Chains A and B, each alone.
Chain A
């Protein structure tokens, strides 16, 4: 493995040359304090701190359930104590790019559920919307407060070179992971207060307050007094249940399941011990399909009968709105830079990873010829399932994907294998570079967007691996955005 990549601490290197670079002591500026800290601290201290971190996570019960694993299996996501650091300048640019992107995506969603100017202008083909099962005809003509559809966005970013960040994926439905961002920070501040203080790191703790402020701002006009917000969860067996309880607790709002809510007189109420109480804003962590058994999947026990009708009449706000999936699936992804141009008349600050659409004949021909070099993804998959990583695939796997692509060309996109940046990480043999990505969270309310300086850095713990998903054995790191 001699593919070169950017190590965020020690600069361009390869898996084999990393140790030399480290010894040479050429450190990228944002990591100056981290490098000093790594050099001046005894290995035994790190060992004991890593154990302590594990204990904290276990005790607090920061776990997730793995799909396809034995029912009820609760796992810890591995946490690495070496933080990922971004300079103030890097962050300023990232944040501006994220806000720009989310703004365009919100305008796109409003447009496709109203006049569809984007179709008439020929930017996005009509067939793209009609064929997309995530397009919700129920949302046509429905007005949502402030025309905000995506109140909480998690945009996955990768870095390939010193100045090049790409958006890898938009998560506009129920993005998760923010509780890890907050818990990782709490743990780092507790374990390593000195290096934390020296580095001057921007705080992230106010995320929950910003979230609550955002949710309250989009309450329906009919809401009286302080709007009542709830977090809606599918229940304890959901993989992100810990995060749902955590956010409800941090915001000081109720964590409701579908059975706790009911609809009466064009309003949503929750059953409380003091009687029914009107609910104005639902931060739902549950799919569109499960929201309302009367409107969507009738067999779902998770939702609230009649919810859609109240929502369409403006009696309650859902965050995120229904039907945002059409803007974040991988078949819409290639259009986003054009959408930014179209709606904002601006050049995208953050680019996409170059992407081939298998639905286009010329792209498909290229993809089928270069399967061994490309990463092929399902347009409607998530979490690293149903994916082909060309350079690591067998001939059989390539043949399987060839068939899949030919059968459903629209269902697949392909991208070049990227040399993701890495960050030094504690592994069995000591400190080694491991590839990382970043998921910042963008909150959008009536008065625009806010990005808390930081995000969830995910790290692929296996040597050379590019798959950072926690469901595939990835870990996490604290993400430091420096103040200056």
Chain B
């Protein structure tokens, strides 16, 4: 396969996943900002949201306010923002446009339909429609695209590159989300009734893991277990370990017996997550651990670019 094709597939996967992650973060922040929680405020919720979305410099440069209005516009329908859902869907669509001979018709139609529905949505349209309804729609479209790719395209190299984009983006997003929350909630009064429940419950919701948590632990919410669920649990589809495992599988399918350096890096990352224990991770400091994961993810995608002659 042409390297550019692989690159287009990889970025299609990444941008769709990124749009979904944006929707998740904004959705939960919006919900939490409405609650009057002790030790928290609407402003601190939006500050966390901005941090877990990587605090893009464009946001500060353009003198945006740390409030719901500016943040939700900047990350949803702002045409000039390189971090908006609109931007991501457009980028995914442009990448997919070059792939029409490679991807299934259904995949193209799904992504094209999403873009057509989004292309003329502006802020007033967004407010009229309702932010949360819009964000739910974005998540649905992302799920739909993933499902369609899974069941209509050949599970060949093209599919592997698409999925690599999905899981590298997702791992990065989960790591940043957890890191932000650990830092901002560190000083929280653990005795305050319900505080932990609301604050960490929100983190779980962001990762669609609220119910998964209860099914897994059958117990009250604790920060330690949330961390474990989102980093080390094998069966949790947004956990770091799950993502790393997927990356290993897809890279192995692509690299076969070539023993690429990226296969080795992915294996190492997966081993780190597979054989870690949450108590050790926490006692040594989860921030360092997550920073290490984020660094390795970046290294891995740079290595993939080399191994497959892509420019990512």
Query: Are A and B associated in one complex?
Result: yes
B98, B100, B157: which contacts A273 (Cβ < 8 A)? B157
- CB-CB under 8 A from A236, the residues of chain B are 97-98
B3 touches A271 (CB 8 A): yes
Give chain B residues whose Cβ lies under 8 Å from the Cβ of A256: 2
> Are A260 and B2 touching (Cβ within 8 A)?
yes
* Chain B residues whose CB sits within 8 angstroms of the CB of A48 once the complex forms: none
Contacts of A276 in B (CB 8 A): 309
| Complexed CA–CA distance, A274 and B260 (Å) | 11
Beta-carbon contacts of A259-276 to B below 8 Å, as 1s and 0s? Answer: 110000000001111111
- Measured in the bound complex, the distance between the Cα atoms of B4 and A259 in whole Å is 8
Q: Is the CB of A272 within 8 A of B101?
A: no
With a cutoff of 8 Å between Cβ atoms, the chain B residues found around residue A270 in the complex are: 2
Shortest B98–chain A CB gap in Å is 5
How far apart are B83's CB and chain A's nearest CB, in angstroms? 23
CA distance A129 to B100 in the complex (A): 42
Determine the chain A residues whose CB is within 8 A of the CB of B244 once the complex forms.
none
Which residues of chain B have C-beta atoms less than 8 A from A478's C-beta?
A: none
Closest-by-CB residue of B relative to A249 is: B101
In the complex, A274→B157 CA distance in Å? 11
Other-chain contact of B105, A60, A274, A275 (Cβ < 8 Å): A60
A61-B108 in contact (CB<8A): yes
Specify which chain A residues have a CB less than 8 angstroms from the CB of B310 in the assembled complex. Answer: 273
**Which residues does chain B contribute within 8 Å of A272, judged by CB atoms?**
1-3, 309
Within 56-77 of A, Cβ neighbours of B (below 8 Å) are at: 59-61
Task: Determine if A257 and B4 form an interchain contact, defined as CB atoms under 8 angstroms apart.
Answer: yes
- A59 x B3 contact (CB < 8 A): no
- Could you tell me if B105 and A59 are in contact, using CB atoms closer than 8 angstroms? yes
- Please determine whether A273 and B97 come into contact, CB atoms closer than 8 angstroms: no
B6 proximal to A (CB < 8 A): yes
Q: Which of A222-277 contact B (CB under 8 A)?
A: 235-236, 242, 245-246, 248-249, 254-257, 259-260, 270-276
Residue in B1, B2, B5, B100 with the greatest tally of chain A CB atoms within 10 Å: B2
**B254, CB-defined interface residue at 8 Å:** yes
Q: How far, in Å, is B229 (CB) from chain A's closest CB?
A: 34
Grouping DSSP codes into helix (H, G, I), strand (E, B) and loop, the B interface class, with mixed when no group exceeds half, is helix
From B3, B100, B254, contact of A61 by CB (8 A): B100
In the complex, which residue of chain A has the Cβ closest to the Cβ of B304? Answer: A273
Q: Does B308 contact A (CB under 8 A)?
A: yes
Q: Which residues of B contact A245 (CB under 8 A)?
A: 100-101
Whether B105 lies near A273 (C-beta < 8 A) is no
Q: How many B residues face the partner with a CB closer than 8 A?
A: 19
Known contacts A248-B101, A273-B254, A260 near B3 by CB under 8 Å: yes
Give chain B interface residues in 1-27, CB to chain A under 8 Å.
1-6
* B2 & A254 in contact (Cβ 8 Å cutoff): yes
Indicate if the CB atoms of A271 and B309 lie closer than 8 Å: yes
Q: Are B1 and A273 in contact (CB under 8 A)?
A: yes
List the A side residues contacting B157 at CB < 8 Å.
273
CA distance A255 to B108 in the complex (A): 18
Chain A contact patch, size range:
20 to 34
Closest to A59 in B: B105
Which residues of chain B are within 8 angstroms of A59 by Cβ–Cβ distance? 105, 109
Closest to B161 in A: A273
Considering the complex, give the chain A residue whose CB is closest to the CB of B1: A273
Cα A235 to Cα B108 with chains together (Å): 17
B103 → chain A closest CB, angstroms: 11
Chain A contacts for B98, CB-based, 8 A: 235-236
Q: With A and B bound together, what is the CA distance between A276 and B309 in angstroms? A: 8
CB distance from A48 to the nearest CB of B (A): 23
The CA-CA distance from A259 to B5 in the complex, in Å, is 12
Contact partners of A255 in chain B: CB under 8 A: 2, 101
Docked pose: A60 CA to B310 CA in angstroms:
29
Contacts of A259 in B (CB 8 A): 4
Smallest beta-carbon distance A61→chain B, Å: 7
Q: Which residues of B contact A246 (CB under 8 A)?
A: 101
Interface residues in B68-116 (C-beta closer than 8 Å to A): 97-98, 100-101, 105, 108-109
Q: Are the C-beta atoms of B101 and A273 separated by less than 8 Å?
A: no
B110 to chain A, nearest CB (A): 13
Question: What CA separation (Å) do A248 and B157 show in the bound complex?
Answer: 18
Looking at B6, B157, B309, the one whose CB has the most chain A CB atoms below 10 A away is: B309
Query: How distant is the Cα of A246 from the Cα of B100 in the complex, in angstroms?
Result: 9
Cβ–Cβ < 8 Å partners of A271 in chain B: 2-4, 309
**Distance of A274 Cα from B100 Cα, bound (Å):** 21
A256 to B105, CA, bound (A): 20
Q: Which B156-175 residues have C-beta < 8 A from chain A?
A: 157, 161
Q: For B309, give the chain A residue with the smallest CB separation.
A: A271
With a 10 A CB-CB cut-off, give which of A248, A256, A270, A272 has the most chain B CB atoms.
A272
Alpha-carbon separation in the docked complex, A273 to B97 (Å): 20
Q: Mark A125-163, 1 if CB is under 8 A from B, else 0.
A: 000000000000000000000000000000000000000
Among A235, A257, A273, the residue within 8 A (CB) of B309 is: A273
Chain A 30-66 per-residue mask, 1 if CB under 8 angstroms from chain B, else 0: 0000000000000000000000000000011100000
Residues of B within 8 Å of A274, CB to CB, are 1
> Could you pull out 14 A-B pairs where Cβ atoms are within 8 angstroms?
A59-B105, A59-B109, A60-B105, A61-B108, A236-B97, A248-B101, A260-B4, A271-B2, A271-B3, A272-B3, A273-B3, A273-B157, A273-B254, A275-B309
Residues of A at under 8 Å CB distance from B? 59-61, 235-236, 242, 245-246, 248-249, 254-257, 259-260, 270-276
Binding site for A on B (CB under 8 A): 1-6, 97-98, 100-101, 105, 108-109, 157, 161, 254, 308-310
Known: A254-B5, A272-B1, A272-B3. 6 other contacts (CB 8 A): A260-B2, A272-B309, A273-B1, A273-B161, A275-B309, A276-B309
